[in-house]
Amino acid sequence: MYCGDYIQGTIFPAPNFNPIMDAQLLGGALQGISCEKDVLIDILTQRCNSQRLMIAEAYRDMYGRDLMTDLKENLSHHFKEVMVGLMYPPASYDAHELWHALKGVNTEEKCLIDILASRSNMEIFQMKEAYLTQYNSDLQQDLDSETSGHFRDTLMNLAQRDFLQGTRMEGYADPSTAAQDAMILWEACQQKTGEHKNMLQMILCNRSYQQLWMVFQEFQSISGQDLVDAINDCYDGYFQELLVAIVLCVRDKPSYFAYRLYNAIHDFGFHNKTVIRILIARSEIDLMTIRQRYKERYGKSLFHDIKHFASGHYESALLAICAGDVEDY
């Protein structure tokens, strides 16, 4: 567990920011005979999200058109996904990703896991609001209809959280109940009944991160086994993947996302959607820390691996978000 670490993103507010000048440059880049993609990368990856939204406003005032629509119409393939993705506010981007994961041809369970296992009560609340506004649909109802079993129950429990009545008690810890919770988790890994599965996910979804750190230590003392190993031994499928994701996010979110990126790059032949989603969503939160964890754990840098598997302007955009240094290669 990395407690008290300094967590840092890769994208920060640009100094001497001028949204009108940026909007002019983007307009010129998008309206030329050939789209000047380098200009798009230089501006959109070097401004923070709130600055991009101000550029979009200036662009609308200047040209009477929507910047996101113009990006969609002028760009293609994965490069388009990156540039358009950068234009969503964080909660709207999560909502967009969840909608497509639930309503696409096949449900993308790994996307649901990545987002719902890692977000705070406030982030979940804002994401549900954005989902309702953007798609006129209720996230919990869609999870209910598009997923099933204990996997669905756990997702539903995570999605119930919000900053007003969040089921996860953020910041609260009680050492006296940690051993009790650990014993319940241990029993749930032994007996695996429906009721035990329910109790397992209730503890992992509802206790604060501080409480769960103590529970995990108690579990190790009681069982002599790490909780992740115990879950992997006892359960399978997406339910198991979701439980493990929750445990890993409680321990250290940057390590979890480093693991997911490595997985997406190496085990799935560069799974573009996952790489794009994680880089954009974590760019202002902890992507610099994710890069550090990636290098520590896998020997090669994230910068190196993206350079190896991606190409063209798509590669340039990902590397700009990643903010890699030459020595990273």
Q: What is the per-residue pLDDT across 69-108, written as a single tens digit (0 to 9) for each?
A: 999 999 989 999 999 999 999 999 999 999 999 988 788 9
**CA 102 to CA 111: how far, in whole Å?**
9
Give the residue from 129, 43, 121, 124 showing the smallest Cα distance to 86.
43
Q: Say if pTM beats, i.e. exceeds, 0.75.
A: yes
Which CATH code for domain 1-87+264-328?
Answer: 1.10.220.10
**CA 277 to CA 212: how far, in whole Å?**
27
Give the residue from 147, 154, 149 showing the smallest Cα distance to 102.
147
For 91-160, which CATH superfamily applies?
Annexin (1.10.220.10)
For 175-251, which CATH superfamily applies?
Annexin (1.10.220.10)
Give the residue from 225, 234, 101, 29 showing the smallest Cα distance to 243.
234
Residue 199 contacts residue 159 (beta carbons within 8 Å):
no
- The upper half-sphere exposure of residue 52, i.e. CA atoms within 13 Å in the direction of its Cβ, equals 24
Task: Write out residues in the chain with pLDDT < 50, as ranges.
Answer: 1-4, 164-166, 326, 329
Residues of the chain with CATH 1.10.220.10: 1-87+264-328, 91-160, 175-251
How confident is the model over 18-37, as pLDDT tens digits?
999 999 999 999 987 677 88
Question: What is the per-residue pLDDT for 206?
Answer: 87
